[in-house]
Amino acid sequence: MRLNVIRNIIICLMLFIAVDLFYLQVIRGGYFAHLSESNSIRVVPIEGARGRVYDRNGVILADNVKAYHAVVVPQDMRDKRALFAFMADVVGVDEKAIEKRFYKNKTTPFTPVSLAESLTRSQAIRVEENAFRFPGLMVLEKYSRRYPGAEYSAHLVGYVGKADPFKVKEIAEYGYTAEEFVGYSGIEQYYDDLLRGNPGGRQIEVNSRGQQTQLLSVREPSDGRSLMLTVDEDMQQAAYQALAGRRGAVVVLDPSNGEVLTLVSSPGYDPNAFLDHDQRDRVAEYLQSTLSPLLNRAVSGAFPPGSVFKIPVAMAGLEEKKIVPATTFDCPGFFQMGDRTYKFPHSWGTQDLTMALAHSANEYFFNIGLLLGSPVMAKYARYFGLGERTGIDLPYESKGNLPGLNMPRWYKGDTVNMAIGQGYVQATPIQVARLMAGFENGGILPWPHLVLSGLDEPFKRQPVHFSFRKDVWDAVHAGLDQVVALDTGTAHALAAIPGTVTYGKTGTAQTGPGKEDHAWFAGVTRTDKRVIAYCVFLEHGGSSANAVLLTKEFLTSLIEQGKI
């Protein structure tokens, strides 16, 4: 009896459920289908501002400007042709351009797709006034990046842009979407995760026209972290103006702590062009130019250093006791090795180490190189940081090149070429500036870095220490002093700058038949105000005398501005 009651109750419940399902799905099915089609939930993103970038004095190098962007939710679109025609009329472009932009940026049916960026206020109002005609169309307030420093800080700061298809896959795991801007090159790329703002959004309910009917929830965005750099914007400008569009680089370090005061590569480019659709032709010129304006020659360009390499060679010769400061070699303007004769533009006669450095006498260092051999020269060059990355906080740093111990073929000619910074030897301007900082510090090689504040912890990387006998330091220092102080020194033009004491080394590096030489000057300048270590490099700039003249112009400008 009790089982029959339970069975009847179950049957009644099943019948009730069946009747209710019939009512909901058959009798009222059309009504609920209409409701589901007429109302749905959308997430409208709210962009977090990207962190600003400042120089050491608070001058803005990368800023944000609020901008209006017209977007559409693909799922809500009705008449695509009418929408594309309307937006083309608003922004004054061809309808095909809007259509192409839509399909290029479209990802998922519910993700807003950008149709036009950086609208004027009047354009944004017109879109808002007509949004009722085009379901899914809305105006979002976003941020556009601006670079007041333009060309003279372009390689330092970098730029931002929409991620290309390959980069989207790479960064998707970090929470990026295809519509977000990411850093390309410079600080923008290296510290992208810190500078990037975290987006928020509004969860809304919309009707069949894509119009908001109810605000469900809001998640506020958060701004990215701002960074203050070690560089001085005025020094950046002075270096860029001294380069005057020539291919080359200027790097200035504070030898006491490795702070980068100047890092300029030339020719430069305007990073703002990558954010302006009207300047696409200009961007194409950058990409196609044989001058390679997008290459950061200060960090990514590796070149034969020429006679600058004589500094570690001289240190090696003294430390290994192959020579003493008074050791002399005849420097008649040529060097005979077997059947080959190396010819040079000057005949200096008998030279000791000091005069050989001052005059940059190649014959002297050919002899030292043969006494040492390439492995020993490479070892001492590595003490000064050559052949390895400096660790500067910029992407795509080159490590240059030092010949290894297992070269397939090596001849005496390769050894003498190496002794004067030619052949297989390559260095970057940042490495050469660091070499001079290490020399000024007496064997303490600092780590170049660009961020003064804004990181979770201040820069604490310990410098590299290496040691030589005091007489070795003194002997090479005396030679580098005479490079400037001696009337016939290769950088004597720098002696005329008032209020400064400068020492350093010039370098002229051959680059091949029919091509101009590279010109270098690596130096340290002291004033009552500060000490700087630096490298001035001119790619295919001819004689090192041209690098010396550029250095003179640059240092004079810094003194006039009170920077050093």
DSSP annotation string for 339-390: TEEEE-S---EEE-HHHHHHHT-HHHHHHHHHHH-HHHHHHHHHHTTTTS--
pLDDT band at 238 (very low <50, low <70, confident <90, very high): very high
In this prediction, residue 213 carries a pLDDT of 65
Residue 308: pLDDT over 70 = yes
User: What pLDDT score does 33 carry?
Assistant: 52
pLDDT given for residue 149 in this prediction = 83
| Residue entry with tokens 């290769």 | 490
In one letter, which amino acid is 293?
P
Predicted confidence at residue 37, as pLDDT, reads 47
Task: Let me know: does 267 contact 178? Beta carbons within 8 Å.
Answer: no
Q: What is the pLDDT of residues 528-545, one digit of tens each?
A: 999 999 999 999 999 999
d(CA 67, CA 51): 16
- Residue whose structure tokens are 């977090």: 48
Phi, psi of 115 (to 5 degrees): -105, -30
Contact by Cβ (8 Å): 505, 522: yes
Per-residue pLDDT at 549 exceeds 80: yes
Strand order in 212-219's β-sheet? 40-46, 200-206, 212-219
What's the confidence (pLDDT) of residue 300?
A: 98
Statement: residue 517 has pLDDT above 70: yes
Residue 262 has pLDDT above 90, yes or no: yes
Q: How confident is the model at residue 508 (pLDDT cuts 50, 70, 90)?
A: very high
pLDDT for 64-118, tens place per residue? Answer: 988 888 999 888 888 899 999 999 999 889 999 999 989 887 877 777 888 988 8
Looking at per-residue pLDDT, the higher value among 177 and 333 belongs to 333
pLDDT at 38: 45
Instruction: Report pLDDT digits (tens) over 121-132.
Output: 899 999 989 988
Please give the Cα distance from 124 to 48 (Å, whole number). Answer: 20
Least confident of 186-200, 390-404, 495-509, 516-530: 186-200
Average pLDDT, the chain: 89
User: Quick one: which of 353, 347, 390 has its CA closest to 368?
Assistant: 353
Longest dimension (CA), the chain: 129
**Residue 46 CB neighbours (<10 A):** 17
Instruction: Grade residue 1 by pLDDT with cuts at 50, 70 and 90.
Output: low
- Predicted confidence at residue 35, as pLDDT, reads 45
Find the range with the poorest average confidence among 45-54, 165-174, 236-245. Answer: 165-174
pLDDT at residue 390 above 90?
yes
Strands 53-54 and 60-72: antiparallel
Domains and CATH numbers, the chain: 42-229 (3.90.1310.10), 233-266+299-561 (3.40.710.10)
Give the pLDDT band of residue 39 (cuts 50, 70, 90).
Answer: low
Most confidently modeled range among 130-139, 219-228, 257-266: 257-266
Find the mean pLDDT for residues 20-28: 63
Asked if the peptide bond before residue 312 counts as cis, ω within 30 degrees of 0, the response is no
Q: What is the mean pLDDT of residues 293-315?
A: 98
pLDDT at 275: 87
Q: In this model, does residue 204 exceed pLDDT 70?
A: no
Q: What is the pTM of this model?
A: 0.85
pLDDT of 187 > 50? The answer is: yes
Query: Which residues fall within 8 angstroms of residue 266, CB to CB, at 6 or more apart?
Result: 240, 243, 244, 245, 246, 247, 248, 249, 297
> What is the mean pLDDT of the segment spanning 261-290?
93
- What is the three-state SS of 267-310? CCCCHHHHHCHHHHHHHHHHHHCCCCCCCCCCCCCCECCHHHHH
pLDDT at 26: 65
Q: Give yes or no for a contact between 426 and 303, defined as CB atoms under 8 angstroms apart.
A: yes
Mean pLDDT of 167-179: 53
Q: Does position 183 have pLDDT exceeding 60, yes or no?
A: yes
> Across the strands, what pairs with 262?
252
Q: Say yes or no to pLDDT of 22 above 70.
A: no
